[in-house]
Amino acid sequence: MSDQLPISFYADKYKIGEGKKIQLKGLATDEKDKPITQADAEAILKADIVKLSEIQEKLYATNRYAVLIIFQAMDAAGKDSAIKHVMSGLNPQGVNVNSFKTPTHQELEHDYLWRHYVSLPARGMVGIFNRSHYENVLVTRVHPELILNENLPGIHKLDDIGEPFWAARFRQINQFEKTLVENGTVILKFFLHVSKKEQKKRFLERIDNPAKNWKFSPSDIQERGLWKDYRKAYEELLGNTSTGGSPWFVVPADDKWFTRFLIANIIVSELSRLDLSFPKLSEQQKTNLENAKKILTGELESPASDNGQ
């Protein structure tokens, strides 16, 4: 039973160790022998959603940490539905969700991290990046011609974009995240690992179901044809950017109920390690509360009553 397992069991199982070489073909997209039933997982998910709400309240009250949760995946892996279900108990006032599409002209006039930096969560807040700065070592790795739009010094043609360029980007991203972590941002990164077979099934559902037609784009088929290129790019970024301070979790994504359960469980496990609590009141603040209570219960005259109000 899952409730007999250590709280960090799934976080430890699916976390990518720092510097580990990744081969996605060797990682499961579906656990055939799951340690939990769907009914039990859904019950625990409900409980974890409540726990996340409680953690969020203390996160805001403590006002020392921000939380950034990053989701990356192949198309149709279930990022949107995972965010919808797992984050359903959070107070919307304390959450910002950002989906990063093709950079605008203004964004291209800045360094590639600029648009992500300005979207980071403040202390006490939860930020969700549905796709993220990792697109800059993913889509641009598969389509390097996009780098030419950034008008970078020393980059004039495709031949200028070699391995040193990507190594530098990994270093820049790691430094970017290291700075955030050292200043109080907790970073959790999830790669939803879906199989090509399951992606095909979900694409066909989008085509056959009129209510889901809007989710499908002809470009989805074009990008699917580059599956091996994207897989290689993901292997590189996972292996180069999973660190002790901002780890990647590669979770199986062929079974949506199991994926959602894992994501919620891992988030609760990781955030439970934070020193979060409601602020302690000073003696004067406690006295003020007691006086306010007495006024409200009519045991003391309200100052306003002296003015005949």
Q: Residues 175-183: what's their mean pLDDT?
A: 98
- 106: Cβ contacts below 8 Å, ≥ 6 apart: none
Asked whether the beta carbons of 189 and 249 are under 8 A apart, the reply is: yes
Given pLDDT bands bounded at 50, 70 and 90, which one contains residue 32? Answer: confident
Residue type, 150: E
CA distance 57 to 228: 42
Tens digits of residue pLDDT in 239-292: 999 999 999 999 999 999 999 999 999 999 999 999 999 989 999 999 999 999
From the list 248, 279, 255, the residue with the least C-alpha distance to 71 is 248
> How far, rounded to the nearest angstrom, does the alpha carbon of residue 299 sit from its chain's CA centroid?
51
pLDDT tens digits for range 264-273:
999 999 999 9
Mean of the per-residue pLDDT values of the chain: 94
pLDDT on residue 303: 59
| Prediction pTM value | 0.92
Spell out the residues 6+ positions from residue 199 whose beta carbon is closer than 8 angstroms to its own.
74, 75, 76, 77, 224
Per-residue pLDDT at 92 exceeds 50: yes
Domains, the chain:
2-278 (3.40.50.300), 283-309 (no CATH)
